[in-house]
Structure 1
Amino acid sequence: MTPDFQQLMRNAARLTRSGDLHAATAAIQAALAGTTPAPPAPRAMRDMADVIDVAARELTDTDIDTPAPPGPAGDDAPGPGRFVAGSHSNAAGRRDFKLYIPPGAGGRALPLVVMLHGCTQNPDDFAAGTAMNELADAQGFYVLYPAQSQQANPQRCWSWFKHNHQARGRGEPALLAGMTREVMADHAVDAERVYVAGLSAGGAMAAILGDAYPDLYAAVGVHSGLATGIATDLPSALGAMQGGGKPAANGASGVPTIVFHGDADTTVHPANGQHVVMASAGTAGSVEVEQLSTPGGRAATRSVHRAPDGTVLAEHWLVHGTAHAWSGGSGRGSYTDARGPDASAEMLRFFMAHPRRSGH
Structure 2
Amino acid sequence: MTLALHGLDRLIRLRQRWSRLFVGAPEGPADDGRLNEIADFGENPGALRMLVHVPAALRPGAPLVVALHGCTQTAAGYDRGCGWSAMADRLGFALLLPEQRSENNPKRCFNWFAPDDTRRDSGEAASIRQMVDHMLREHRLDPHRVFVTGLSAGGGMSSALLACYPEVFAAGAILAGLPHGAAASVPQAFEAMFQPKILSAEERAAPVRAASGHAGPWPRISVWQGAADRTVAPANADEILKQWLALHGQDLERPAGSATADGVTHRLWLAPDGRRLVEAYSIDSLAHGVPLHPPGEAQEHEGRIGEAGPYMLDVGLSSTHAILDFWGLAPAPQRAFVVSRGGEAREVTERPSLAARLLRKARRLAGLGSD
The TM-score range, normalised by the shorter chain, is: 0.7 to 0.9
Separation (CA, whole Å) in 2 of partners of 1:183 and 1:194:
10
Match of 1:208, SS state, is: helix
Gapped regions of structure 1 (runs ≥ 5)? 1-12, 38-80, 355-360
CA distance in 2, matches of 1:350, 1:141: 15
1:142 is aligned, of 88, 94, 98, to: 94
- The 1-side partners of 2:245 and 2:9 are apart by 39
Hey, what does 1:334 align to over in structure 2? 310
Deviations along 1:307-356, one digit per CA (max 9) or x if unpaired, are 455442210000111100100154354311112421111111111279xx
1:121 and 1:15 mapped to 2: Cα distance?
33
Q: Quick check: 1:34 aligned with 2:22?
A: yes
Provide the rounded CA distance (Å) in 1 between the counterparts of 2:22 and 2:94.
30
The amino acid of 2:128's aligned partner reads: L
The Cα offsets for residues 99-157 of structure 1, whole Å up to 9 and x where unpaired, read as 1112321x332111000000000011000110111111211111111010011111100
- In 2 relative to 1, CA 14–83 (structure 1 residues): closer, same or farther, beyond 3 Å? farther
Q: 2:15 touches 2:190 (CA, 8 Å); kept in 1?
A: no
What residue is the counterpart of 1:200 in the other structure?
Answer: 152
Aligned pairs for 1:60-71 (under 5 A) are none
Aligned match for 1:317, one of 281, 299, 320: 281
What SS does the corresponding residue of 2:174 show, helix, strand or coil?
Answer: strand
**Residue type at the aligned position of 1:250:** A
The residue that corresponds to 1:261 in the other structure is 225
CA-CA distance at 1:241 after TM superposition: 0.8
Runs of 5+ unmatched residues, structure 2? 26-32, 210-217, 294-305, 331-371
Identity percentage over the alignment?
29
Instruction: Tell me which residue corresponds to 2:259.
Output: 291
Larger RCO, structures 1/2 (Cα 8 Å, 6+ apart) = 1
| Residues 78-157 of structure 1: pairs in structure 2 closer than 5 A | 83-87=35-39, 88-90=41-43, 92-105=45-58, 107-157=59-109
Indicate how the Cα distance of structure 1 residues 312 and 134 shifts in structure 2: closer, same or farther if over 3 A, else same. same
- Amino acid across the alignment from 1:92: P
The 8 Å contact of residues 96 and 147 in structure 1, kept in 2 or not, is answered as: yes
What is the CA–CA distance in structure 2 between the aligned matches of 1:85 and 1:176, rounded to whole Å?
14
1:189 is displaced (CA, Å) by 1.2
Shift of 1:190: 1.1
Query: Is residue 2:200 matched to residue 1:236?
Result: no
User: What is the Cα deviation at residue 91 of structure 1?
Assistant: 5.5
Match of 2:8 among 11, 17, 20: 17
Moved more, 156-165 or 193-202: 156-165
Structure 1 residues 93 and 239: alpha-carbon distance in aligned structure 2, compared to 1, 3 A threshold = closer
Contact 2:291/2:319 (8 A) holds in 1: yes
Q: In 2, Cα distance between the equivalents of 1:93 and 1:267?
A: 25
> Does the 8 Å CA contact 1:230/1:246 hold for their aligned counterparts?
no
The 1:235/1:135 distance shift into structure 2, 3 A limit, reads same
Pairing partner for 2:169 from 201, 217, 220:
217
Structure 2 CA distance, aligned partners of 1:224 and 1:165?
A: 20
Distance 2:62 2:239 in 1: 32
Change in CA separation of 1:14 and 1:143 when aligned onto 2, cut-off 3 Å: farther
Q: Across the two proteins, how many residue pairs are aligned to each other?
A: 291
Kept in 1: contact 2:61–2:140 (CA 8 A): yes
Match in the other structure for 2:264: 300
SS in 1 for 2:142: strand
**TM-score normalised to structure 1 length:** 0.73
Contact kept in structure 1, 2:264 and 2:283, CA below 8 Å: yes
Between 82-91 and 155-164, report the one with greater CA deviation.
82-91
| Shift of residue 163, structure 1, vs aligned partner | 2.3
Deviations 1:211-258 (A, max 9, x none): 110111111110000000011122322221113324654347632110
Superposed CA RMSD in Å reads 3.0
Contact 1:267 1:324 survives alignment (8 Å) = yes
Relative distance call for 1:129 and 1:353 in structure 2 (3 A) is closer
Secondary structure of the structure 2 residue equivalent to 1:191: coil
1:272 is displaced (CA, Å) by: 0.7
Separation of aligned partners in 2, 1:345 and 1:276: 21
* Separation in 1, partners of 2:163, 2:68: 15
1:62 corresponds to: none
TM-score (structure 2 length as normaliser): 0.71
Distance in 1, matches of 2:78 and 2:281, equals 20
Conservation of the 8 A alpha-carbon contact between 1:89 and 1:95 = no
The superposition leaves residues 241-292 of structure 1 with CA deviations (integer Å, 9 ceiling, x where unpaired) of 1133246543476321101110100100111111111111126354034334
Conserved 8 A contact 2:176-2:226: yes
